[in-house]
A and B are shown apart, each in its own frame.
Chain A
Amino acid sequence: QVLLQESGPGLVKPSETLSLTCSVSGVCFGSCISRYYWTWIRQPPGKELEWIGYVYYPDSTTYNPSLKGRVTMSLDTSKDHFSLRLNSVTAADTAMYYCARISDHDENWYFDLWGRGTLVTVSS
C-alpha cells in the first residue's frame, strides 16, 4: 500500500516562501514516484478545494494559472518525495495543503490517494 505524508513549516510569514514535502512510501513494482503524476491541492478553512498543480518524472509540471507563477514543484526520486514551493505568500494562502497521487481512466484524471494534509498559516 502506498502512503503519502506531508511535512513542512506550519507557519510562514507574509511575502516569504512556503515549502512543503510529500514523502511517498509503500510497496510498488519499481519506483513509485517515477510511475505516477503527483499533485498538490489546498483547502482554505471552510472553503473549496483548489488544485495547485502536478509534477511528473523527471521534471514535467503543470500549474494552476490562478497562482500567477508563484508555484514550483519538483521530484526527488532518490528520496522518494516531491515538493511544493509557493513564493510571495499572503494570508490568502493560509490553507490545509494536501499531496495526492493522480491516476487516470479513459482520459479522466482523478486523485485516488491523499496525504493526511498539513495546515499552513501565513501570519507575521
Chain B
Amino acid sequence: DIQMTQSPSSLSASVGDRVTLICRASQTISRSLNWFQQKPGKVPELLIYAAAKLQNGVPSRFSGSGSGTDFTLTITSLQPEDFATYFCQQGYTTPFTFGPGTKVDIK
C-alpha cells in the first residue's frame, strides 16, 4: 500500500496568515493527490484534486502543488472558517489511502 504522511500534525495560526501543509507519499503517485477539509463532526469536503485543481465552489485562497511524492496545500489568507483538519489522499492506485491529517487551529 502507498503510505501517506503529513506535516506538521498540527499548527496554530492567526486569521490572515499564510499556511502551508505538506503531504508525502511513500512512492511516486504522479499528480494523483487530493486534499480534503474536515471540521469537527462534519463530512470531509474536497478542496483540491489532481494535486492542483480547485474543486468547484472552493475559495481561491486554497491552492495545491506538487508531483511525484511531495505535495503542498497552501491557504494564502486564513479565514475563521478555515480552522479544521486537512487530509491528503492518493488517488493513484488501490487501495486508496489517506494521510493522518493536519489540524489547523487558532493561535
Interface residues of A (CB under 8 A from B): 48-51, 62, 64-66, 98, 103-112, 114-117
Contacts and interface: CB of A to CB of B under 8 A. Distances in A.
B49 to A, nearest CB: 4
Interface residues of B, number: 28
B95 A51 contact: yes
Given A51-B96, A65-B95, A66-B95, A107 B46 contact: no
Contact of A116 (B43, B50, B51, B98): B43
Contacts of B50: 105-106, 108, 110
A108 B32 contact: yes
Contacts of B1: 66
Contact of B49 (A65, A66, A105, A115): A105
B100 interface: yes
A109 B91 contact: yes
Given A106-B31, A107-B32, A117 B98 contact: no
Interface string B72-107: 000000000000000101011011111111000000
Contacts of A112: 46, 49, 55
Contact of A110 (B30, B46, B100): B46
Given A65-B95, A108-B92, A110-B89, A48 B46 contact: no
Interface string B28-46: 0011111010000001111
B53 interface: yes
Can you list the 8 inter-chain pairs with the closest CB atoms, starting with the nearest?
Answer: A108-B32, A109-B91, A49-B98, A64-B95, A51-B96, A110-B49, A110-B34, A108-B91
Nearest to B98: A49
Given A51-B95, A65-B95, A105 B44 contact: no
Contacts of A64: 94-95
A64 B89 CA distance: 15
B53 A105 contact: yes
Given A49-B44, A98-B43, A116-B43, A108 B49 contact: yes
